[in-house]
Amino acid sequence: MDKPKVVLGVSGGIAAYKACELLRRFTESGHDVRVVPTASALNFVGAPTWSALSGNPVSTEVWDAVHEVPHVRIGQHADLVIVAPATADLLAKAAHGLADDLLTNTLLTARCPVVFAPAMHTEMWEHPATQENVATLRRRGAVVIEPAVGRLTGVDTGKGRLPDPGEIFEVCRRVLARGGTEPDLEGRHVVVSAGGTREPLDPVRFLGNRSSGKQGYALARTAAARGARVTLVSANATLPDPAGVDVVPVGTAVQLREAVLKAAADADAVVMAAAVADFRPAVYASGKIKKKDGQEPEPVALVRNPDVLAELSAERARPGQVVVGFAAETDDVVANGRAKLARKGCDLLVVNEVGERKTFGSEENEALVLGADGSETQVPHGPKEALADLVWDLVAARLG
């Protein structure tokens, strides 16, 4: 099989050096990468670096190797174009269809999916001109990854940082896997909860569970690659922030409820993949509970936690909001799943069978997705991203 052809556009931002790491991810995973930098980008990282790392010629202008008509060919033959970093200037040119160098020509001739990863100072990002250009590009079907918040050039911090190259790569991988399908969640806000809550017993102990957060993070990453604005409420997961996703860290079930309800206020869909503890210790000991010689330990009294999935389902923040729950079951998976779906009142319930090397912490998953409309979709064993994509297919169908 031919290697997927990726065009890596690099424009003149300080984060251009991070595109070297992105390039390596592509080449090491079997992609044929043609790097097309702007002239400004070469002030940050030189052409020999791009050429040596990609194994392909590098040019910024349409006037090199004219017999190959590169200003048309490179775009026409690409399976994916990713521009990282995308400067404010490059976004403006792309939004307005300017074509004064090889990268902007390539963007006009490409018919494959296009992803932009903008990076710039917060003022440049927030400027109405940039925001309108981003909206134009999204409306036309491009995936524009929201910049991360953090350290910018020099001592400044704020929104505008290029997300981690590994996470930009994951978005591109998902976009490529969807084979040119339109980003169908563009304009939607989705909320995903992930990880497992921890209910403190004393300053050093908690009641927790074995959820790694991988399924929720796969859902967030996949939704972002399909164009959604994503809020990820993350309970104690230790995974890197997915590119373009707004991550809200929480600890306990009560904190998770508060964060999810707040984000759900304007959400089109809420997917509750987090493992939320049903109970928490009735009393929190402010000092460490000590063992006492010759005495049995005190039993731990528990109280119920709020049922966030039932609450979300019963009191939809918006008409037509789609609510999805997850259920981990150890036996009688279908019957227990159906009963839970009815009890919670959600639209879809993803039922996992939990067991040895199944579900928790694993890279793979298999599930049965039950619909309130009586539908049943069996998802065969495979990557958690594949299950995530199927969940979004079902959500998108319900959003209409």
Ligand X SMILES: Cc1cc2nc3c(=O)[nH]c(=O)nc-3n(C[C@H](O)[C@H](O)[C@H](O)COP(=O)(O)O)c2cc1C
Contacts of 245 (CB under 8 A, 6+ apart): 146, 220, 221, 224, 230, 231, 232
Nearer to ligand X (CB atom), residue 87 or residue 197: 87
Q: Which amino acid is at 127?
A: H
* CB 50, min distance to ligand X, A: 14
Catalytic residue from among 105, 133, 209, 305: 209
Query: Are the beta carbons of 44 and 72 closer than 8 angstroms?
Result: no
247-250 long-range Cβ contacts below 8 angstroms, 24+ apart: 250/197
**Least distance from C-beta 221 to ligand X, angstroms?**
24
Rounded-to-integer distance, Cα 137 and Cα 345, Å: 38
Pair 220, 193: CB distance under 8 Å: no
User: What residue ranges bind ligand X (CB under 6 A)?
Assistant: 11-15, 38, 40-41, 87-90, 119-120, 124, 153
Structure tokens at 199: 């209910």
Comparison of 151 and 304: residue with beta carbon closer to ligand X: 151
- Give the nearest distance from C-beta 89 to ligand X in angstroms: 4
Tokens coding 110: 């490409």
Dihedral over Cα of 73, 75, 79, 83: its sign: positive
CA distances from 108 to 82, 103, 133, 158 (A): 13, 9, 15, 32
β-bridge partners, 190: 230, 269
The answer to whether the beta carbons of residues 241 and 167 sit under 8 Å apart is: yes
CB of 143 to ligand X, least distance (A): 18
Residue 35 or 394: the one with the smaller Cβ distance to ligand X is 35
To the nearest whole angstrom, how small is the minimum distance from the Cβ of residue 120 to ligand X? 3
Q: What's the Cα-to-Cα distance from 353 to each of 152, 330, 334, 350, rounded to whole Å?
A: 44, 6, 10, 10
Closest distance to ligand X from the beta carbon of 100 (Å): 9
Pick between residue 9 and residue 325 the one whose CB is nearest to ligand X: 9
The DSSP result for 169-194, as a single string, is HHHHHHHHHTTT---TTTT-EEEEEE
C-beta of 134 vs 239, nearer to ligand X: 134
Residues 161-199: b if buried by 16+ CB within 10 A, e if exposed: bbbbbebbbbbbbbbbebeeeebbbbebbbbbbbbbbbb
Is 209 tagged catalytic?
Answer: yes
Which CB, 75 or 213, lies closer to ligand X? Answer: 75
Active-site positions read 209
